[in-house]
Each structure stands twice: as structure tokens, then as C-alpha cells.
Structure 1
């Protein structure tokens, strides 16, 4: 529902009832991920999309039904149908499950607060029961702020307690996800499926080395929604004029800046200096932190020398395994712009636990709803491309 948070926030503040249709589960090549929502108010105004247009018409009718007939929350599934050209379905070949419910803002004041937090860019999460006993279906609970204090209820103290810990973890990761809770004496007797919608501050991309590659990478990182910082110890190179797409440009020794700045499990570190004076103390620290991605530019020779120096500095084999070096996917990149695409492609694949293989070299669905790879590599394409060449090619 956070894709339409600004409109829903306004409707809640006006105490305007609305019907909410939420994508709660997808399989195959579904067009939009879980958590995406469409809403219709009592005047028939519609906002959002859940399928790119394939099933919006019938969803609109379901929304009108729950609004005006006071119908209980209802679930619907839509898949691909080529047997009947006039049947409602998805043309992409996937399947989506939708929950449609009536929302009375006056009955859920915590929802207004959480949506306002999202609109203001502050962290918040909303847990929504999408499967379970009929009397609990559609209930919500909100987590507000960095300390994740919660408000609202999913039906009782046991249900709330069972959901909050998992919702807090998803909020810290900035990830919307489906959680199964309950069904045992230690949590709550009723088994529930809960969709946790999360909004967190933009993840950070820290680029070390004020070089031409950094200029292109900062632009690509900003395009992907990262809060980009470029850091270099040389003030003549680290200027805002050279990096207009970065959110900030810092003049400092890389390892000293990393030690002082805020990072988390979504932070991407890109080391582009390939200079041991900067790289070794920086990576020695970075590889010991719980960061999302760590990559370093350099040739094979630079990579081997860097690994040896890090090993001598006390970095363990397990910690070294977290280093993506040479940085980037093997795209044959040469220009700064091509290299930026190579690096960001690897970051995306790493974040999604994907293979990075061409889609034509695998089988299975293109899109996925879980954390496993969307592709099962064919035997002929299972070779790791990083064994022969890196994405960002240099001669150092």
C-alpha cells in the first residue's frame, strides 16, 4: 500500500472510507510485487495499480462491492488464461493473489500516523493479516520510528507479539515480506499469514575514489535510489562540481570516514581507488562490518596483491569471501558509464541473491517472490564468469 501512501494519508486525515486491494502473493512473471496496492474511495476515485492494467477493471468492481455492500474482506486469484480471449487474467503468464478490504480510518488511527510517517520519508512498517480466520482478515498493526514502537492490534496480545519481532527485522532491512506466524502454543494458537509493508530511508552507496568511474557510478546509484557519498582524501579531486549526482562529497581518508559514518545491512561499498594506501585500511574495516555489498576495482594482479595484504592484516578467509573483486559483472565494460552499469548490475544481483546470468541461459520464472534465485542455471551456462574476467577492467 505504500506505493500510494500520499493519497491514502490524505484520505485517512479526511476520515474518508476507502477500499484497498493489495497484492499479497505472486508467482511466475507477475508484473508487480507483493505490497503493491490499488484503492477506491466512496466517490469512485481510484489510485494505484496492481497489474499494469490486466485485471484492474474487475478489481475496481470488487472494491465497489466491499465499499457499498459492506462486504467482508475477500481474496481473489488471477492467472493466465489463453482458452478464452475475453477472460480476465494476466497476459504475462504469472499469478497474483489479491486481498480486497474496506478501510475505515476512524477505526484505525494508527494507520493515519504510519502513512504520514511514510509521506515524510521516515521509517515505518505496517503488518496486515492477509490469510487467517475471517474475523482477523485485513487487520493491521503499525511500527513507527527507528525504535519500532507499535500501535494497533492484529486481534490480541499473542498475535501482536508474534508479528512485531519479524516486522522489526523487515523494517531494519527495508524489505516488504510475507511472514507466517502462530499455529503453536508459544506464539498464538491461530496460524496467520501477515504481509509486512515497510518504508525505510534510502540505502547508502559509499564510493571511495574520486575518479571518472565514480562520477558515472554516482549517477547510476542515484538513479537506483541510493543516497550516494563520494569520498577521497585528495581535495583537488573530491569536489561537488565533479560529482553533481552525489548527495555528498567528502574529503577524508576513506577508512577514517567509514569508521565515523552510519552504515547498515543495505549499504553498498564501492572501492575504486585500487591504491593500497587507501584500499587496505578501508577494506580491513569494511570486511568486518555488517554491510550489504563490498566491491573493489582492480586487475587480477591488483586483486591478488590486495588479498595477500588483507590476509596479512588479519582479515580471515571467510571475511575475504565477502569481497567482490574485481568489481562488477563481466559485461566487457570499458567506459566509465559501461563500468557503472556493470557494478550496479552486480549490486542488484547480490542484493536479490540472483545469479547474474543472462535470462536466456536459465529456466524457471523471470520474476520471483522469495529470496531464492529466479533462475536455475542450465548445465551449459553454469560456469562462473568471474573466473576469467572482471566487469570493470583495468591494467593495474
Structure 2
């Protein structure tokens, strides 16, 4: 749901009634992951997607039904061998979808409790602030349709409607997922929920875009900036040479910094989603920069250069005191072997390696391979999540 926060926040401001369908669990080769959402307003306008097209029509109808009845409902969609034309995922996966009405101007307790909480969370996410929303997808029927908006410091708005201990536990779980920018389901046992039975929560996280730091204002960097923006990164270009590090050469960069790369890196607070791409292939820039970068808890450190340059770079880093364990983190020569030659092709190979690193992909062709297509999908619960009121 938070993946379409900007549009939904606008709908809340305009006072529109809508229903939002959210993927809460997946199994197999599902096209979208938990948190993906499709919303339909009272006029029939639809935004977002839960399946990339496979079951959108059926989910659209469920949203219209939820708007009419005011009741939340969950539905499981999967591939049907018996009827090729049945509503289902032709990719062979399974998704569970929670459909929740978000209505204004009604006297129903569920409506009056839910809408302001979601409106506040959606507004925060739309502003680019870190925000998490916890919702019950399985548990006592009288708790369905409630939500908790959780901030990074674990303070929260709203209630899940049960014991206060459930809210506190849910907020702590949501904060932990928010810290990692993750969306997932969480099971809280009967003791933790104080509801007499276990509760399954969907916790959606929305965090500011991850950062991509590109060192070296060269033509390859220009192509990498463009693809980094396409992938949703906040992209910074850093180079010590002011004649090259200009807005004219990098119009799509979010930030251009003229400074020695290692000095700029020392000034930044980076997280585990940050990727560093070193394109300078000049020892006076590379070595002090990589000496620091390889000791930071970032997601990816790659450096451009030939294999000869790479071997020379490794020796220089060893001489600077970088350990073999730290050197093992270095992706160099940077990128996957695509046979790339142009700056655009090289940027694509770098982006492919970053994606493979993030999701645990092998980088080998899918044709003839026996590896999963999606490496980090969450599994659906073994039993169907029943309809809820």
C-alpha cells in the first residue's frame, strides 16, 4: 500500500472513499511481493497493481465489493490446471490479497478508526519520510480493519483494537522491519497478542530512496547516473575535479559534489542499502577511498578497471592494511560479464550486479537454469487466510 502512498494520500486529502487491495503473502513465482497494492475509489478509478495483470480484474471487483459492504476480505489467487481461463496466476505462483475499505463519513467504528491512521501514514510516506503500517491479516475477526502507523523511533498512532500489549509488540516488530526498509508478515503468539490466539501482521515499510554514490565524473558515470535514477536510487556524483563534476554533464544526478572522494565519504552517514561505484580507476583516488569503503556496512562496493589494474589495486590495498576478508567484499572489475562496451552497456552490467547482489541472484541466464526466478520472496501461509469482517 505504501508503494502508492503519494496517490492514496491525495485521495485522502480529497475526501475520496476507496478500497485498497494489498499483497500480504506469496508463494512460488509470484509477480509482486508483499506490500504491492491496487486501490479503487468510489468512481471506479484504479491505481497500482498486485499481480502485473494476471488477476487485476478480479481484485478490482473485490475492491468495489468492499466499498459497498464496508467489510474487509482476503482472497488467495493461484494457477488453475483445470481451467486455463480461470482467474489465476499463469506464472504458477500464489498470492494472498487483503482488501480493506477506507471510507469517510460513516459511523462504523472500523471506518472511523482506520482512515485517520492510514491518512497520516500515507502522508508521511508521500513526503519521503520513513513510515511503517502494521495491519492484522489473520486473527480475531473483531480486530480486522485496524491499523498502526509506526515511526522510526517506535512511537505510533492508532490501535490494532486488542490489548495495549499487542500495540506495543506490533510497534516494536514494525520498527525493526522499518530499520531495514523491509516489508514482511510477522506472527505474534497468543501470549504476546493477549487476544487468546496468535495474530499475523503485515508490516509495510516505506523508507527514503537508497543512495548510490558514483565516484569519478566520466562518461561511464553519466550512464550509471541515468540507470541509478531509473532503479530508484538517490544518486550522488563525486569528483575532485570541478571541470568535470558539473550539472551540465550530469543533469539527472540528485547531487554533485566537488571534493576528494575519500574526504566526502568520511563526511557521510551511510546505511546498509547504500551502493558505492568507484569509476575513477586512478590510484591516488581509489586507494584511500576503497580503504574506507570496504570497512563500511554498505550493500555494495564496486570498482572499475582492467584485471591488471584490479591486481595492482589489491596489492596497494593490502599494503594499506586492508584485510583479505575486507577485500573479498570488493566487486572488481565492476559489473557482470555481459560483453559490455559502451557506457550504457557498462552501466547496465553494473546495475545488474547490484541487483543480483541485493537479491541473491546468480547472474547466470535463466534459460536452462534450475535456480528460482525470485530469490527473496516471502512464503504464503500453509492454510488459507479466511474472509474477515
Q: TM-score range by the shorter chain?
A: 0.7 to 0.9
Q: Give the deviation of 1:45 after TM superposition.
A: 4.2
Q: Secondary structure at the match of 1:19?
A: strand
1:149 counterpart (138, 155, 163)? 155
Q: 2:251 & 2:39 partners in 1: Cα distance?
A: 38
Preserved contact between residue 55 and residue 88 of structure 2 (Cα < 8 Å) = yes
The aligned counterpart of 2:171 is: 164
Inter-partner Cα distance in structure 1 for 2:363 and 2:371: 14
Cα distance between partner residues in 1 of 2:271 and 2:244? 27
| Greater mean deviation of Cα atoms: 95-104 or 41-50 | 41-50
User: How many residue pairs end up in the alignment?
Assistant: 370
> Retained in 2: the 8 A contact 1:158–1:188?
no
Contact 1:40–1:60, Cα closer than 8 Å, also in 2:
yes
Structure 1 contact 159–182 (Cα < 8 Å) conserved: no
Deviations for 1:149-170, whole angstroms, at most 9, x for unmatched residues? 3212223332223232332233
Cα pair distance change 1:113/1:186, threshold 3 Å: closer
Q: Deviations over 1:278-328 (max 9, x none)?
A: 111111111111111111112222222222222232222222221111111
Counterpart in the other structure of 2:227: 220
CA drift at 1:148? 4.7
| Of 119, 123, 126, the match for 1:112 | 119
Choose from 311, 323, 334 the match for 2:318.
311
The yes-or-no answer on 1:249 pairing with 2:256 is: yes
| CA spacing shift, 1:17–1:26, aligned 2, 3 Å | same
Aligned to 2:108: none
| 1:96-245 to 2 correspondences below 5 Å | 96-104=95-103, 106-108=112-114, 109-144=116-151, 146-154=152-160, 155-184=162-191, 190-245=197-252
**Separation in 1, partners of 2:344, 2:70:** 55
> Mind listing any 5+ residue stretches in structure 2 that lack a counterpart?
104-110, 380-389
Give me the whole-angstrom Cα distance separating, in 2, the residues matched to 1:42 and 1:130. Answer: 24
Could you say if the C-alpha distance between residues 87 and 151 of structure 1 is closer, same or farther in structure 2, counting changes exceeding 3 Å?
same
Shift of 1:8: 2.6
Partner of residue 3, structure 1:
3
1:1-396, aligned counterparts within 5 Å? 1-71=1-71, 73-104=72-103, 106-108=112-114, 109-144=116-151, 146-154=152-160, 155-184=162-191, 190-370=197-377
Aligned equivalents of 2:147, 2:290: Cα separation in 1: 43
State how far apart, in whole Å, the 1-side matches of 2:7 and 2:246 are.
39
Distance verdict in 2 for CA 1:203–1:54, change over 3 Å: same
SS of equivalent residue, structure 2 residue 223: helix
Q: SS where residue 360 of structure 1 aligns?
A: coil
- Residue deviations 1:236-295 (CA, integer Å, cap 9, x gap): 222222222212221111000001123211111011112221111111111111111111
SS at match of 1:359: coil
Contact 2:359 2:376 in 1 (8 A): no
Q: Which residue of 2 aligns with 1:380?
A: none
| Distance 1:9-1:248 versus aligned 2 partners, 3 A rule | closer
Query: What is the CA deviation profile of residues 212-253 of structure 1, one whole-angstrom value per residue up to 9, with x for unaligned ones?
Result: 211111111111111111111122222222222212221111
Q: If the length of structure 2 is used for normalisation, what is the TM-score?
A: 0.87
Structure number with higher relative contact order (C-alpha < 8 Å, ≥ 6 residues apart) = 2
Shift of 1:365: 4.1
Structure 1: 5+ residue runs without aligned partners?
373-396
CA–CA distance in structure 2, aligned partners of residues 317 and 189 of structure 1: 52
Give secondary structure in 2 for the equivalent of 1:362.
Answer: coil
Mark the CA change 1:45 to 1:340 in structure 2 (over 3 Å): closer, same or farther. closer
- Structure 1: distance between partners of 2:378 and 2:241: 40
In structure 2, distance between residues paired with 1:326 and 1:371: 33
Distance 2:377 2:39 in 1: 25
